[in-house]
């Protein structure tokens, strides 16, 4: 963190991404490596749904990981944008998991993926309009009441737009956060992907964000397919996303953890940690080789 020297009355500090801010999304093939190598991490993120059942190995891993670093439970199946409301059996399992683990952060997505009993197992985008803001905010409120604590919600990548949308994505996100009074998980790669797919300026997205609500930042890799960027999480973040991370982090107020997501074509654990370190703009002591 660097103090702003331009004005003595200006108390805002400029955040830089230090090695101490960095964390990873942990996937099953790396569980053993984490427990053996115990690298320095600011946050370890697990998919909540993989740990819903209270017996056995999956819960043991969470308890052991918590001895290494703070844990985030990152949900992918709550479907906060469902017009049917929430799946209460899913929510009960999340409450049970949170009561057992007491994670540092609990996150979900501003998306939908369920109609009735049909789950798409995907993070589908929503139309950007007032009715949907109210619906998502009500569902977030329901989750926060059930858990008795704040959740943070993440902006998603998108490849379609809706006729019903009558506002910008950033205004939609802002109003949900304010109405639901919840935290924000800012995924910079998702903002970048959407900016390219829908031809908007990232500065416009960022200038209206409620920075005090940003409690975690995601970075990931994407790939280009025909006329679209697709959020694939199968490679390192590109140089543009890394450069946006720098700009975004200088706006953050709470020094949120920055987490590298990697879900398919997983590298070795050492390479994953090296790519995570590559996000830092302040050099650190730990050194895992990228080559």
**Given the rule CB under 5 A, which residues bind Fe ion?**
187, 218
Supply 165's token pair: 């949308």
In angstroms, what is the minimal distance from the CB of 151 to Fe ion?
15
How far is residue 25's CA from residue 92's CA, in Å, rounded to a whole number? 24
How far is residue 265's CA from residue 40's CA, in Å, rounded to a whole number? 23
Rg (alpha carbons) of the chain, rounded to whole number: 19
CB of 138 or CB of 240, closer to Fe ion: 240
Do residues 144 and 182 make contact, with C-beta atoms less than 8 angstroms apart?
yes
Do residues 1 and 12 make contact, with C-beta atoms less than 8 angstroms apart?
no
Question: Sign (positive/negative) of CA torsion 254, 103, 48, 133?
Answer: negative
CB of 175 or CB of 261, closer to Fe ion: 261
In angstroms, what is the minimal distance from the CB of 219 to Fe ion?
8
How far is residue 225's CA from residue 240's CA, in Å, rounded to a whole number? 17
CB of 118 or CB of 122, closer to Fe ion: 122
In angstroms, what is the minimal distance from the CB of 250 to Fe ion?
20
In angstroms, what is the minimal distance from the CB of 201 to Fe ion?
21
In angstroms, what is the minimal distance from the CB of 88 to Fe ion?
26
In angstroms, what is the minimal distance from the CB of 257 to Fe ion?
13
CB of 31 or CB of 192, closer to Fe ion: 192
Angle, helices 188-197/239-251, rounded to nearest 10 degrees: 120
CB of 49 or CB of 187, closer to Fe ion: 187
In angstroms, what is the minimal distance from the CB of 289 to Fe ion?
26
3-state secondary structure 163-223: CCCCCCHHHHHHHHHHHHCCEEEEEHHHHHHHHHHCCCCHHHHHHCCCHHHEEEEEECCCE
Do residues 153 and 142 make contact, with C-beta atoms less than 8 angstroms apart?
no
CB of 130 or CB of 238, closer to Fe ion: 238
Nearest Cα to 254, choosing from 104, 143, 138? 104
CB of 14 or CB of 42, closer to Fe ion: 42
Residue nearest Fe ion by beta-carbon distance: 218
């Amino acid at each position: 963190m660097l103090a702003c020297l331009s004005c003595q009355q200006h108390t805002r500090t400029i955040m830089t991404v230090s090695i101490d801010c960095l964390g990873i999304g942990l996937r099953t093939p790396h569980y053993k490596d984490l427990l053996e190598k115990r690298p320095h991490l600011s946050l370890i993120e697990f998919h909540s749904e993989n740990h819903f059942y209270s017996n056995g190995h999956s819960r043991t891993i969470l308890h052991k990981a918590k001895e290494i670093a703070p844990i985030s439970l990152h949900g992918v199946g709550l479907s906060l944008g469902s017009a049917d409301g929430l799946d209460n059996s899913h929510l009960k399992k999340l409450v049970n998991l949170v009561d057992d683990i007491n994670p540092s952060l609990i996150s979900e997505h501003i998306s939908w993926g369920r109609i009735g009993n049909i789950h798409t197992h995907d993070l589908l985008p929503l139309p950007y309009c007032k009715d949907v803001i109210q619906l998502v905010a009500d569902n977030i409120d329901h989750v926060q009441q059930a858990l008795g604590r704040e959740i943070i919600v993440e902006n998603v990548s998108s490849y379609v737009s809706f006729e019903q949308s009558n506002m910008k994505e950033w205004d939609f996100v802002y109003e949900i956060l304010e109405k639901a009074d919840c935290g924000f998980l800012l995924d910079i790669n998702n903002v970048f992907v959407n900016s390219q797919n829908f031809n908007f300026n990232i500065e416009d997205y960022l200038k209206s964000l409620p920075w005090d609500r940003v409690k975690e930042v995601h970075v990931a890799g994407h790939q280009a397919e025909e006329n679209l960027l697709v959020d694939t999480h199968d490679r390192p973040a590109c140089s543009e996303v890394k450069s946006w991370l720098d700009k975004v982090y200088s706006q953050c107020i709470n020094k949120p953890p920055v987490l590298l997501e990697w879900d398919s074509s997983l590298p070795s654990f050492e390479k994953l940690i090296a790519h995570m370190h590559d996000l830092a703009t302040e050099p650190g002591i730990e050194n895992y080789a990228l080559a």
